[in-house]
Chains A and B, each alone.
Chain A
């Protein structure tokens, strides 16, 4: 109950400070600790809302800003290399091991019911529906997202963005847009590759090692996995994650405080926020796609 009241109190404070900033400053002079909280909560609420608005405008401008020229394709391909190709190793290795673990765990569970023939179905559905989009997005946030934030942040700190602006080139078009698009394209591809390798890894353990019949492994899988229901939904999920992670990463880089401390904090934020958003979004999307809400 006390917790509940304090939450209500804080929300009220938040509202007051958002409406009237001076009210917060006035109350501060009374030196009351809760009043200090009021100002603090109000300010951070305000700052959060502003950052959200800024990032929304930012991503819209970035998406619109993709220049329609041959030069732009070069920039995009370059970014696809950094964001996609360089993330490939970690995706391949993780997918292989996750697939193998799924094969092993699935087998030990299914064999108790004598239904180890359903292993293929279990591995494929787990990967295609859930694990591939989520794990690929988390790895992508750690590998490519943090790199994007650090790179853009460094450009900001060394005034490269400002100087580009002064040369008369919009950094939103030249720096931000290609990176946003590269992220949107790369993650769904990485997710598909993740599924492929994971299913193969599951087969490696299930079929080649534990002796599940190869025909049953594939046959059961084909009988239950639906192209539209499962695979396309998985791809849609990963597209949503790609948007979220790239958006967060690029915006954190563009919006950070241009110091070395600012860069390291923004990089951490990118990974933390991306992971939270991916997991939260995953639940919502799963509920919409597979749940019977």
Chain B
């Protein structure tokens, strides 16, 4: 046998391990999959927006620029014909966000992705699991802005 059996088996074993390592790396570091991705680490909030722009499931939820959760679902509320967005926010913030916390759909950069930014309120009472955020601000749609600008400009 041209090649020692041991070396051969060792190299094949290392090859397979490299494959497993690559998969784990891609899962954790590239796709940001966390192993303790259980729902009890998050609590749920709802927010209705009249327009969500380019918001997608898995978009970030931030407060003061810090990521504190993710958008888990977006559906159409057929009662008001608004977008009903489900947010998963880290459980450590349960009981710490005031009732009048406001949510806004923001854009990172001029053409970047949409995300939700929360701004703290002043009330004593705090948000509980499955509460609804009342104070929301829809996405700025670029076309609307441009339209408004043109209309205003032509009025003058």
A contacts B: CB pair < 8 Å: yes
A residues adjacent to B (C-beta < 8 A): 74, 77-78, 80-81, 84-85, 88, 113-115, 117-118, 124, 128, 186, 188-190, 192-193, 195-196, 199, 218, 221-227, 230-231, 235
Interface of A, helix, strand, loop or mixed by DSSP:
helix
| Chain A residues, CB < 8 A from B31 | 222, 225-227, 230-231
Contacting residue for A114 out of B21, B22, B109, CB 8 A:
B109
Contact in complex: B30, A114 (CB < 8 Å): no
| A223-B110 contact given A77-B8, A80-B12, A196-B22, CB 8 Å threshold | no
Shortest beta-carbon distance, B87 to chain A, in Å?
15
Contact in complex: B111, A85 (CB < 8 Å): no
Shortest beta-carbon distance, A174 to chain B, in Å?
16
Shortest beta-carbon distance, B17 to chain A, in Å?
10
Contact in complex: A128, B22 (CB < 8 Å): no
| Chain B residues, CB < 8 A from A190 | 19
Shortest beta-carbon distance, A215 to chain B, in Å?
11
Interface of B, helix, strand, loop or mixed by DSSP:
helix
Contact in complex: B22, A85 (CB < 8 Å): no
Contact in complex: B19, A192 (CB < 8 Å): yes
| A113-B111 contact given A81-B11, A192-B23, A226-B58, CB 8 Å threshold | yes
Q: Which of A128, A190, A225 has the most CB of B within 10 A?
A: A225
| Chain B residues, CB < 8 A from A222 | 29-32
Does B16 sit within 8 A of A, measured CB to CB? yes
Q: How far is the CA of A190 from the CA of B16 in the complex (A)?
A: 9
